[in-house]
Amino acid sequence: MLLEQHKVLWLFYLASQLISVKGEKGGKMSMKRTSRLALGIFILILGILIALGPQYIFKICEQHHGTTTACFWTARALIGVGGVIALLGAAVIFLKSTPLLAGLSLAVLLNSILAFLIPNLLIGVCGEATMDCRVVTLPALNILTILSIIISAGSTGFLFVKYRKESVPDAHVSSELD
């Protein structure tokens, strides 16, 4: 249990390092280029793991008696959603505009929520508690999707605040009114 808590704290530390603020310069905050690159690569890797994990890394259970299971369809749906997350992560690497990055982060957040809902609510996995999909695949997908939700929510919030501060000019108070 202590080891799991340590891993979660480490993930939060990593997330805070990815979404770092460069010092105040002229009253504007800016996302470091290395932070944007690291964030994009991290989202890209998460998307690939969400898409291909159920197929190759933490495999779903095999088909039973010639029928396809809910796990099979969950894995198929996650190929598409994880692929979109990976493509959005690649776009984060190459784009520099704050409004576009905020929109991409929001898209990653919404797709990550969808990726979480597919195995947990929308399609599901096998009902048997001892099957690989329930014991290995579902917890692995939950960790990946929750991590993606946390990272993308943090970057979305940061980028929207940054954009708002950049787009709203500072109000200057005139001394002539005194």
pLDDT digits (tens, 9 = 90+) for 107-162: 999 999 999 999 999 999 988 888 888 899 999 999 999 999 999 999 999 999 98
State the Cα–Cα distance between residues 15 and 154, nearest whole angstrom.
8
Among the listed ranges 27-31, 82-86, 92-96, 112-116, which one has the minimum average pLDDT value? 27-31
Phi-psi region of 56 (alpha: psi -120 to 50; beta: other; left: phi over 0): alpha
Residue 148 lies in a domain: yes
Residue 10 lies in a domain: no
Burial of 167 (0-12, 13-18, 19+ CB in 10 A): exposed
Instruction: Dump pLDDT digits (tens) for 47-59.
Output: 999 999 999 999 8
Residue 37 lies in a domain: yes
State the Cα–Cα distance between residues 79 and 48, nearest whole angstrom.
8
Residue 126 lies in a domain: yes
- Split into its structural domains, the chain has a count of 1
* pTM across the whole model: 0.77
Q: Which domain holds residue 125?
A: 33-57+67-166
Residue 40 lies in a domain: yes
Residue 114 lies in a domain: yes
Burial of 36 (0-12, 13-18, 19+ CB in 10 A): buried
